């Protein structure tokens, strides 16, 4: 029914505008790409530290494009102006896209974390971390951690979905750690006929300088909190400098699937053991598949 009084119309308009402003602020606060700024120390404009950071920004995108694993680290300068950086591209990225992503990452993170000596930034194809901590590259700690949850919920048999998604993420982590020198794996699981979603897709990756055991341990630390963070959500990602994973109900992969899981026999039965099949190309992401994300948790950026 249309409003017949002006003050009622205005009240409704104020509520709508206020609600919209809250939504926009929430989206801006969690805007992609996702960055984490350090709080330990800052540098000044035109300082030696800034110059060293500029040298890294020029060199690292070139270095990573020539890396077989699309992974690179570098150190420039001497204390107290030394800068250490680590960059990793997703295992299904190509060298050109990887280098381009990293070049943009250096620009974006310095805008978002202006004059912070420590920062991390995450895109779908790449991740970048730099620090004034001289031991940051030697450390295997998974610093710069942040978690993002897809805000769409599973409404049809969520228990079955959660079990299958967890089984797929775990199997994908196993493959990344023990079956790939790049420490990367992708996965796909069938959810069965008649469900809300036909399939779920996954990705897991560590920096390739981690041993298989360290990689799996790093991923296990993230996956252990999966049920608390992502239960009932159609997608989520847990990101860190040393290891990360993601799952979605649409394909976000650009390469072949490495791990495949068959549909569980029933909603009451546990998910089957992971079946690792031959690498088969997967279709591209479905139109409109990406849902909006928001942050649910951020951890320390710098290792102690």
Q: How confident is the model at residue 194 (pLDDT cuts 50, 70, 90)?
A: confident
Q: Within 13 Å of residue 204, how many CA atoms lie on the same side as its CB?
A: 32
Reply yes or no on whether the pLDDT at 217 is more than 70: yes
Bridge partners (DSSP) listed for residue 88: 71, 127
Separation CA 14–CA 146 (nearest Å) = 35
**Domain-ending residue, one of 104, 131, 158:** 131
Share of the chain above pLDDT 90, in %: 72
Structure tokens at 294: 């928001």
Lowest-confidence region among 68-77, 99-108, 257-266: 257-266
- Residue 16 falls inside a structural domain: no
Reported for 25-32, long-range contacts at CB under 8 A and 24+ positions apart, including other chains, are: 26/294, 27/292, 27/294, 29/295, 30/148, 30/293, 30/294, 30/295, 32/123, 32/293
Same domain, 174 and 283: yes
Same domain, 272 and 198: yes
> Residue 31: what pLDDT?
60
Instruction: Please name which of 224, 201, 205 lies closest in space to residue 150, comparing C-alpha atoms.
Output: 201
Same domain, 165 and 202: yes
> Residue 192: what pLDDT?
86
Mean pLDDT of 62-70: 94
Q: What is the pLDDT of residues 254-269, one digit of tens each?
A: 999 999 999 987 654 4
Mean pLDDT of 203-228: 97
Same domain, 114 and 251: no
Instruction: Please name which of 85, 83, 91, 38 lies closest in space to residue 67, comparing C-alpha atoms.
Output: 91
Domain that holds residue 60: 34-131
Q: What is the pLDDT of residues 263-296, one digit of tens each?
A: 987 654 454 555 444 333 332 222 233 444 544 4
Query: Which letter, b or e, does each residue of 31-61 get, where b requires 16 or more Cβ atoms within 10 Å of its Cβ?
Result: eebbbbbbeeeebeeeeebbebbeebbeebb
> Residue 293: what pLDDT?
52
Separation CA 45–CA 97 (nearest Å) = 30
Same domain, 125 and 54: yes
SS3 for 23-48 is HHHHHHHCCCCEEEECCCCECCCCCH
Apex 299 CA angle, 296 and 300, nearest 5:
155
Reply yes or no on whether the pLDDT at 70 is more than 80: yes
More confident residue, 300 or 244: 244
Reply yes or no on whether the pLDDT at 250 is more than 80: yes
Q: How confident is the model at residue 301 (pLDDT cuts 50, 70, 90)?
A: low
Mean pLDDT of 218-233: 96
- Angle at which helix 48-65 crosses helix 95-112, to 10 degrees, equals 160
Average per-residue pLDDT for the chain: 82
Separation CA 190–CA 275 (nearest Å) = 11
Same domain, 112 and 165: no
> Residue 61: what pLDDT?
96
Same domain, 114 and 187: no
Reply yes or no on whether the pLDDT at 208 is more than 50: yes
> Residue 267: what pLDDT?
52
CATH number, domain with residue 260: 3.30.430.20
- Domain total of the chain: 2
Q: How confident is the model at residue 40 (pLDDT cuts 50, 70, 90)?
A: confident
**Domain-ending residue, one of 74, 106, 131:** 131
- Three-state secondary structure call for residue 119: strand
Same domain, 177 and 269: yes
Mean pLDDT of 81-100: 97
């Amino acid at each position: 029914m249309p409003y017949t009084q002006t003050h009622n119309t205005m009240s409704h308009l104020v509520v709508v505008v206020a609600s919209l402003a809250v939504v926009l602020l929430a989206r801006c606060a969690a805007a992609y790409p996702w960055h984490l700024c350090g709080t330990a120390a800052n540098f000044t404009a035109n300082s030696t530290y800034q110059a060293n950071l500029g040298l890294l920004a020029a060199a690292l995108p070139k270095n990573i494009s020539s890396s077989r694993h699309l992974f690179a680290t570098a150190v420039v300068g001497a204390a107290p102006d030394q800068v250490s950086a680590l960059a990793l591209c997703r295992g299904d990225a190509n060298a050109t896209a990887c280098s381009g992503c990293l070049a943009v990452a250096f620009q974006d993170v310095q805008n978002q974390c202006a004059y912070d000596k420590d920062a991390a930034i995450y895109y779908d194809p790449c991740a970048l971390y730099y620090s004034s901590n001289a031991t940051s590259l030697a450390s295997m700690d998974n610093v710069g951690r942040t978690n993002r949850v897809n805000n769409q919920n599973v409404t049809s048999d969520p228990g079955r979905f959660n079990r299958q998604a967890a089984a797929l993420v775990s199997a994908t982590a196993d493959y990344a750690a023990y079956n790939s020198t790049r420490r990367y794996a992708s996965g796909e699981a069938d959810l069965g006929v008649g469900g809300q979603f036909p399939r779920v897709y996954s990705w897991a990756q560590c920096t390739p300088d981690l041993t298989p055991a360290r990689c799996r341990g790093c991923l296990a630390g993230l996956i252990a909190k999966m049920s608390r963070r992502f239960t009932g959500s159609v997608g989520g990602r847990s990101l860190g400098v040393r290891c990360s994973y993601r799952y979605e109900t649409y394909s976000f992969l650009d390469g072949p699937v490495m791990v495949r899981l068959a549909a569980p026999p029933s909603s009451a039965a546990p998910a089957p053991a992971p079946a690792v099949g031959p690498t088969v190309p997967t279709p591209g992401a479905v139109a409109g598949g990406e849902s909006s994300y928001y942050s649910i948790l951020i951890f320390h950026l710098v290792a102690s």
